[in-house]
Amino acid sequence: MELSSLLHELHLSSSEKSLPSPSPPPITELLSRLQEKLTCSSSDSEKSSLIGRVERLFQTADTDWLFSGQAELHAAYSSLVCALIGCAALPLCEDDCSSLPASAYQSVPSRAEPVCSTLTALLRTLGNVGGQSGLLLAVAPPICVFAVTHFQEQAWTSSSSRAAAQILQEALLKAGGWRDSPHLLMGDSSEGGEEGGGTSRGIVGGILDVLQPQLSKENWHSCEAVKLVFAWTLLQVTRPSLSPHLPRLLAPSLLFNDHFRQENCILGVRCLHHIVLTTPAADLCQFNTAEVVYQALFKHLYTSEAAVIQPALSCLLDLLLVLERPPSSLAPSSSPRKPCRHDDVLRLVLTHMEAEHKLSLRRIYASALPLCVDRMGVAVCRHLRRLERVVLGYLEVGDPPEETSRLKILEALQKTIRAAWPRVACRVAMLLRCLLKLLLDVSSDSQLGDSVRQELMNQTTLCIKQLDGLSDGGLQPLLLQVDSSCCSSEVVDCLSTITVTTDR
C-alpha cells in the first residue's frame, strides 16, 4: 500500500488540510498522532486495525523519511513502542494474596501477536538501514521486556504468541548485531556496555529503567510477568557487568525473598544466590550488603518447606565465604578460635536434623552436612556431641532407594574423624557398634539396588578403617572374630580389608 493511501486511512495526510499536493507530515508528528490514537482507542477491533496499519507503515514507507530528524525522533519512537506494547498489557492483580485465574489472560495472546509482528517489522527496517544505533538502543529495552514476557510458557501466552515473541527477540538481536541474550544485556564493554559506543553497548540498565516503576514494594506483585522478566535479566548478567547495577538488582531480589508465597520466595533466593556468586566480595561487603543478605537468608532455615530450605542453605554456605574465613582455613594458634557465623549455621542445622522426620528435609540437611563439617575443620569439636547424636540417628533410618541421607552422613563422619580425631577417639566403641549394625542391615536389605548397597558398604568400611587407625589397630582383634557364622560373606569380605591394611 502506498504511503499516501495509508496516511489517508489514518486521516493524517496533507489532503486533510486541503493542500494542493499530498505530502507526508514530519515523522515525529505522525508517530505522535499514532501513539495518541493507540492510547485513546477503546475498541479492541479499532486497535487491531490501527496496529496493522502501523506495521504496513514500517514495511513500506521510505526509510529516509521514517528515520529523519534526531532531536525528537528517539522519544517519538519510544512513545509509540510503549503505546503498542500497552495494547497487549496484562491485567493487574488486585492484591498479593493470589494469582489471577487463567481465564483473566484469555485475550492476551491474540492481542500480543499483532504487536509482536509490528515491532518485528520496525526492527527489521532498522536493521536494514544501519547507522541508527541510538534509536535502536532507545527502543530495545521496552521491546526486550515485551518479548521476554511473551516467549515464556505462562498463563498469558499461547504457542502462537510465544512463537511470535521469539521471532521478535531474534529480530532484536539481529538488528543490533548482538550474538545472544547475555550479549544483548551486557554488550562488549567490561563494565556492562555502559561506556562503549554503538550497539556493542548492553541494555541491562535500560531494562531496569523500564521495570523499576513496577518493582516497588507496593506494586511489584500487581503484574505476574514483572518478576519473571526481572529474574530472566538478572540470571544472565555476570561479572563484571552486575556490580554497577547491584543496588537496583538487590532490592527486588530481597522483596521476592521476603514474600510469603513459596514460588516468590524461591525466586528471590535464586536471584540472591546469583548475586552472591557473581558479585566481587569487596562490592558485596560494601555498605553491609552481605550482612543484609545473610540475615534475609538465615531466617529461611526456620521454615519446614524443603523447596525453600535447599536453595537458601546452598546460598548461605556460599555467602559465608564472603562474610568470613571458614574456621578450617585459620592458622593454628594458642588462643581458641572464636565462634562465628559458620558455627551459627551448623548449630541450627544440627538442631533441626535431630528432630526432623520428613525424608525430604533429612536429605537436604544430610547433603549440606559434609560441606559444613569440612568448613569447620577442627572447630567442629564445638559441636561434636550434637553431631554424634545426628550421625547415630541418621544411620539407623533407611532412605531408599538412593540412600542419600546415609551416604552423606557417612561422608560427614569421615570428614569429622579426619578433622577432630583426638576428640573422636573416646567415641570409637559407640561409633563402631553403629557402623557394624549398618553393615549387617544393608547386606540383608533386599530392597536396595546392588550399586547402592555396594556404595553404602564401601563407605561404612572406610569409616571403620578410620576408627581402627584412631585406636592404633586395636579394633582388628575384634574384627577378626567376625566370620560367616554370624553374618553374610559380604560383611566378612568388607571387614577383611580392614584387617589386612589399616588407614592411619
CB atoms inside a 10 Å sphere around CB 449: 12
Rounded Cα distance between 295 and 307, Å, is: 19
- Single pTM value for the model: 0.91
Mean pLDDT of all residues in 58-67? 89
CA distances from 165 to 45, 115, 120, 159, 182 (A): 21, 9, 9, 10, 17
E strand map for 102-144 = none
Residue matched to cell numbers 538465615: 298
CA distances from 246 to 142, 144, 322 (A): 21, 21, 16
Crossing angle of helices 289-298 and 246-257, rounded to 10°: 20
Residue range 328-386, pLDDT digits in tens? 887 766 455 788 999 999 999 999 999 999 999 999 999 999 999 999 999 999 999 99
* pLDDT value of position 485: 64
Rounded Cα distance between 124 and 466, Å, is: 68
**Grid cell at residue 248:** 537496583
* pLDDT value of position 188: 84
* pLDDT value of position 193: 42
Rounded Cα distance between 23 and 10, Å, is: 14
Cis bond upstream, residue 327 (ω within 30): no
Mean pLDDT of all residues in 13-36? 68
* pLDDT value of position 189: 58
- Average model confidence (pLDDT) across the chain: 88
CA distances from 28 to 5, 15, 58 (A): 19, 18, 14
Percentage of the chain lying above the pLDDT 90 cut: 66
Residue range 310-320, pLDDT digits in tens? 999 999 999 99
Q: In which region does residue 239 sit, left (phi positive, over 0), alpha (psi from -120 to 50) or beta (all else)?
A: beta
pLDDT band at 6 (very low <50, low <70, confident <90, very high): low
* pLDDT value of position 335: 56
Rounded Cα distance between 131 and 197, Å, is: 12
Residue range 200-250, pLDDT digits in tens? 789 999 999 999 999 999 889 899 999 999 999 999 999 999 999 999 999
Rounded Cα distance between 210 and 141, Å, is: 7
CB contact at 8 A, 151 and 165: yes
Crossing angle of helices 262-278 and 306-323, rounded to 10°: 20
* pLDDT value of position 368: 97
Q: What is the DSSP letter of 153?
A: -
Q: How far apart are the first and last CA of the chain?
A: 88
CA distances from 418 to 19, 99, 373 (A): 94, 51, 10
CB atoms inside a 10 Å sphere around CB 20: 7
Q: Under 8 Å CB-to-CB from 359, ≥6 apart: which residues?
A: 399, 405
